[in-house]
Amino acid sequence: MDIQGKNFIGYTLSAEGDHTFQSYIPASDSFLDDHFHRATESEVERTMALAESAFAEYAAVPAQSRAAFLIAITEEITALGDQLVERAHLETGLPIARLQGERARTINQLTQFSDLLREGSWVEASIDTALAERIPVPKPDMRKMLVPIGPVVVFGSSNFPFAYSVAGVDVGPALAAGNPVILKAHAAHPGVSDLTAQAIISAARKTNMPEGVFSMLYDDGFEVGAALVKHPVTQAVGFTGSFKGGMALHKLAQEREDPIPVYAEMGSVNPIVILPGYLEHNATELGKTLAASVSLGAGQFCTNPGLVFVTSSAGLDAFRGSYKNEIANTTSATMLTAGIYKNYNKLREEVFEQENVSKLVVSENVNAAGNQAQATIAEVSGSAFIANPKLHEEVFGPFSLLVICKDTEELLAAISHLKGQLTATLMADETEAASYPALVRQLAKISGRFIMNGVPTGVEVCPSMHHGGPFPATVDSKFTSVGRHSILRFVRPQSFQNWPDSLLPDELKNSNPLGILRLVNNMQTKDPVAI
């Protein structure tokens, strides 16, 4: 296996630092032999200088050429074949089939951004031609479009070694928009990161992208990431991880002389509300469906349902029985790292220690491999849930809290105590849902994606997907990290006033050489005011 174990800086390899770390194998609680070097201060500086230099050139690279670059990345990732998936399986403990699906999603994401670049309307080109005869003030020629913002720092995530990491949901749109990317590799899967970085750099070479368009640095601590966020060349940050980690980066970014945005996705408990009528008629099937969603991927998705709300009504006993039986027979699964496994057990025990919380079920099928998380369901009354904010927090792993409210009024009160979420789900038929407008409004208010009669796990990569949510699910609820609109995080609007057609960006020229959809507005504005 060709694992370099070094820092990628532009098109060169470097390993100046003495501090190294190894790939951890969670399933066997052991380490691989290769060593990865923590980036040094001089490597950080050289990386940022390359990115700054690359931006001037890469921002001017035609959209069609950037699209070809993205497709070349998908080809290089595909060419790695089983080597990439097998390395990911070793470093994460995730099943081969899951990783194959995630690799396909990663390729699909990059392909969608390539298509977006070729289609072109994403730049939101807007043209207001001059009206010299307008009274009382002549109207200037005004044209506007979205332009790249500059070098973007991205933090690879632990739970998605492909789709949210080196070539994932932050890197793809940042490169598509015309920004160089500096990737801080996640220490949980350095070998996977190494292979993927090689694929991106190979693609950059083959498509003649400027040196420094992509760099990757290693660190098994926090120093390198902090240095990258604070560096004056950095213009935005992409992060998926814990609330603590996301807020630490946000604080660093706001303390800069020139504050920059941190687009941080920081977790969610993804509440599911089951109304009484739907519970009564679907009790057994709901138990099976929710158990599968809670335990999917050892509960290591940002969309696993951590809270399920029901009322004391007909169907409750049948639902509890089905839910309990399904979880009891769920086979334990390997968690990504020893640290995540340890934290899962710690947080789970803290919930059990809370007053009025009971343990409904813990999965009985335990593998002999290391770091095995047992799926667990706890239970609490609606009133006890409302009184204890500790129960509102995420337990990252295959854990969910069943909240049994005495009636729908208490259920609404319980939901009203929740903060922002990536998702919220309502289980109800159309008539029953219409009978509880206040509950529907409250669930919509706290969620980025509002689901009806489905589970939150499974994030479709499409233009209508919003993967984000009100704080503290994300720092800024206006943006998504999935789908074509995620590119809006890494651009800014710029207007051009009275520029000759020959000097305008192609997207704004009268001839429209790219053939993109544009908003052309020649109407005279009412009551013009010079500002």
Q: How far apart are CA 194 and CA 21, in angstroms?
A: 14
Token pair 């789970």 in the structure block, residue: 348
Tell me how far CA of residue 245 lies from CA of 38, 155, 248, 267, 364, in angstroms.
Answer: 19, 11, 5, 11, 33
Locus of tokens 């009275």: 498
Residue 462 annotated as catalytic = no
Composition of the chain by helix, strand, coil, percent to 5: 40, 20, 40
* Nearby residues of 410 by Cβ (< 8 Å), 6 or more positions away: 311, 382, 383, 386
| Per-position DSSP letters for 101-134, written without gaps between them | HHHHHHHHHHHHHHHHHHH-GGG--EEE--BTT-
221: its two tokens: 């601590």
Alpha helices in 313-368 (DSSP H): 316-328, 338-352
d(CA 49, CA 28): 41
Any residues with CB less than 8 A from the CB of 62 and at least 6 apart, and which?
A: 506
* The Cα angle at residue 118 between residues 114 and 120, in degrees rounded to 5: 115
Strand, coil or helix: what is 378?
strand
Which residue in the list 76, 211, 302, 507 is annotated as catalytic? 302
116 neighbors 487 (Cβ within 8 angstroms): yes
Strand 491-497 with 333-334, pairing: unpaired
Q: Give the residue among 158, 170, 160, 65 at the shortest CA–CA distance from 109.
A: 170
- In whole angstroms, give the CA distance from residue 443 to residue 301: 20
Roughly what angle, to the nearest 10 degrees, separates helices 63-79 and 96-119?
A: 160
Q: Of 456, 147, 185, nearest to 299 (Cα)?
A: 456
How many Å apart are CA 426 and CA 420, to the nearest integer?
16
Residue type, 513: P
Candidates 43, 265, 326, 379; catalytic one: 265
Nearest to 399 by CA among 325, 332, 331, 344: 344
Place of tokens 């999603």: 105
CA 517 to chain centre: 29
E strand or H helix at 69, and its extent? helix 63-79
Partnered with residue 14 across adjacent β-strands are 7
Residue 265: active-site member: yes
Amino acid at 239: F
- SS3 label, residue 427: strand
Cα 442 from Cα 323, distance rounded (Å): 26
What CA–CA distance (Å, rounded) separates 448 from 322?
A: 29
Residue type, 507: E
Residues serving a catalytic function are: 265, 302
